[in-house]
């Protein structure tokens, strides 16, 4: 596959989504297509069935290949933030040269990646926050600066090694190379910052079928995350139990009549478990859905109060296919959280709530690689690496910047 193309894959609890993009000669990202295949791949924090997931993954990528008319053999994979541990770290280095060089920067970054973690964990991402030179902070690139002491503040992102191993098995069965991994929330933060000012403290709530990933950003920087074991499937189960219909029928009713604002009340004809037609008031469906979402939001609110000063939160951002499609979800959320609530959608495919994470992965990879483009007579593109990248070739799924070398 041509290196100019970036493919992002999001493996969720209801579907697998993939997006492909290409950076043009001006460095602007052009999204060429996306693909979504229904698959109950994730069961909260593990792959449910490796063979079935691999089969659905292949279907998803084959569909994307037909859209762009080219083979896909390597991808970047997003790791749900709720499955990750965020470890603050600092690297400190005495500078022996007259000015700071790339060599010193690489050394201090390697020092900051040394953190205490168990043998069951693996590093999946590494985020640089700021450099400090002789106590002068908020430096983005220290190369060329004069100083005797170089520091870096960073975040090391880890997840369970068993989870990475199972994902790798799925891709190996498809003959697809994992070119890199990223924590998914970074791409979502990038999409959000394109729409809103990223300053202030923002909480992202990504609701899937089996669980919800809650991620906290303080002034645009990743702070912490947790996984809530409630998702859209809980709502489906509630409807199924309360009005005595099958899960399949309950899912259809939820998607078609889920309205938290209780507008356009009507009677719904459903197939009961006894195969009889039954009429149900649509307000009853709204009440069932509202009760579960209220419980979910209050639980998240309580956890946020334990984690941080709740009054410092500026915005709550909702996304994902679990609840974002409900009419009235914005107002409902604002009443519970007493905060501004934003429903984040895919600006390129606004009707597709399931592919926003895959889009975010592509945007994040392009952004992190800091590509520079140069037109050539043969029409190809030269990609130059940033002076500020991490290299760790021994780790197959290490920080994305370590894959810059593969572009040459």
What would the 3-class secondary structure string for 214-228 be? EEEEECCEEEEEEEE
Q: Is the pLDDT of residue 200 over 70?
A: yes
Q: Is the pLDDT of residue 403 over 50?
A: no
Q: Looking at residues 14-40, what average pLDDT do you find?
A: 88
pLDDT score at 97: 81
Token digits for 186?
Answer: 């970074």
Please name each of the domains of the chain with its CATH number: 5-82+161-193+352-407 (3.30.420.40), 83-160 (3.30.1490.110)
Q: Is the pLDDT of residue 400 over 70?
A: no
pLDDT score at 19: 96
State pLDDT tens for residues 161-181. 999 999 999 999 999 999 999
Closest to 290 (Cα-Cα) out of 347, 328, 249? 328
Query: CA-CA distance, 217 to 240, in Å (whole number)?
Result: 36
Q: Looking at residues 307-326, what average pLDDT do you find?
A: 92
pLDDT score at 153: 97
191's enclosing H/E stretch is helix 184-195
HSE-up of 122 (CA within 13 Å, CB side)?
Answer: 17
Q: Is the pLDDT of residue 402 over 60?
A: no
Helix (H, G, I), strand (E, B) or coil at 13: coil
Q: Is the pLDDT of residue 385 over 60?
A: no
Helix (H, G, I), strand (E, B) or coil at 189: helix
pLDDT score at 356: 93
pLDDT score at 61: 97
State pLDDT tens for residues 204-217. 999 998 899 999 99
- Cα distance between the two ends of the chain: 14
Phi, psi of 385 (to 5 degrees): -80, 155
Q: Are 147 and 100 in contact (CB under 8 A)?
A: yes
Give residue for tokens 């993954």: 57
Closest to 308 (Cα-Cα) out of 215, 186, 209? 215
Q: Looking at residues 116-122, what average pLDDT do you find?
A: 94
pLDDT score at 271: 78
pLDDT score at 26: 67
305's enclosing H/E stretch is helix 282-307
Kindly provide the b/e burial profile for residues 239-275, where b requires at least 16 CB atoms within 10 angstroms of the residue's own CB.
Answer: bbeebebeeebbbbbbeebbbbeeeeeeeeebeeeee
Q: Looking at residues 244-263, what average pLDDT do you find?
A: 88
pLDDT score at 195: 81
Q: Torsion angle, CA of 155/78/255/196, rounded to 10 degrees?
A: 50
Q: Is the pLDDT of residue 123 over 90?
A: yes
Q: Is the pLDDT of residue 406 over 50?
A: no
Q: Looking at residues 62-88, what average pLDDT do you find?
A: 95
Q: Which of 145-154, 239-248, 398-407 has the highest mean pLDDT?
A: 145-154
Query: CA-CA distance, 31 to 18, in Å (whole number)?
Result: 11
According to DSSP, residue 375 is labeled B
Query: CA-CA distance, 342 to 115, in Å (whole number)?
Result: 35
Q: Is the pLDDT of residue 342 over 80?
A: yes
Q: Looking at residues 259-283, what average pLDDT do you find?
A: 80
What band does 274 get if pLDDT is binned at 50, 70 and 90?
low
pLDDT above 90 covers a percentage of the chain that reads: 66
What band does 20 get if pLDDT is binned at 50, 70 and 90?
very high
pLDDT score at 371: 37
């Amino acid at each position: 596959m041509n290196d100019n193309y970036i493919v992002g894959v999001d493996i969720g609890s209801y579907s697998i989504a993939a997006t492909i993009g290409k950076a043009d000669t001006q460095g602007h990202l052009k999204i060429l297509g996306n693909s979504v295949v229904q698959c109950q791949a994730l069961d909260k924090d593990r792959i449910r069935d490796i063979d079935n997931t691999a089969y659905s993954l292949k279907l998803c990528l084959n569909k994307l290949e037909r859209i762009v008319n080219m083979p896909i053999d390597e991808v970047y994979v997003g790791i749900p933030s709720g499955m990750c541990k965020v470890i603050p770290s600092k690297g400190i280095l005495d500078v022996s040269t007259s000015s700071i060089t790339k060599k010193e920067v690489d050394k201090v970054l390697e020092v900051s990646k040394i953190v205490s973690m168990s043998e069951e964990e693996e590093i999946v991402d590494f985020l640089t926050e700021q450099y400090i030179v002789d106590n002068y902070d908020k430096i983005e690139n220290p190369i060329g600066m004069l100083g005797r002491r170089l520091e870096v503040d960073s975040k090391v992102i880890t997840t369970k090694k068993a989870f990475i191993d199972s994902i790798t098995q799925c891709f190996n069965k498809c003959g697809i190379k994992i070119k890199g991994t990223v924590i998914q929330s970074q791409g979502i933060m990038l999409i959000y910052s394109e729409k809103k000012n990223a300053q202030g403290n923002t909480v992202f709530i990504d609701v899937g079928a089996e669980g919800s990933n809650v991620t906290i950003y303080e002034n645009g920087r990743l702070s912490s995350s947790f996984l809530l074991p409630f998702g859209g499937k809980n709502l489906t189960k509630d409807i199924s139990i309360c009005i005595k219909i099958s899960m399949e029928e309950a899912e259809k009713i939820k998607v078609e009549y889920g309205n938290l604002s209780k507008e356009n009340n009507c009677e719904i004809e459903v197939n009961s478990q006894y195969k009889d037609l039954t009429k149900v008031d649509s307000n009853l469906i709204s009440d069932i859905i509202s009760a579960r979402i209220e419980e979910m939001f209050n639980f998240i609110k309580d956890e946020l109060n334990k984690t941080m000063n709740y009054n410092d939160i500026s915005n709550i951002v909702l996304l994902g296919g679990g609840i974002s499609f409900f009419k009235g979800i914005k107002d409902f959320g604002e009443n519970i959280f007493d905060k501004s609530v934003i429903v984040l959608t895919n600006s390129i495919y606004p009707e597709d709530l399931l592919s926003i994470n895959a889009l975010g992965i592509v945007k994040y990879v392009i952004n992190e690689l800091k590509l520079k483009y140069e037109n050539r007579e043969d029409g190809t593109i030269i990609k130059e690496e940033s002076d500020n990248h991490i290299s760790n070739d021994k780790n197959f799924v290490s920080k994305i910047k370590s894959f810059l070398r593969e572009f040459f």
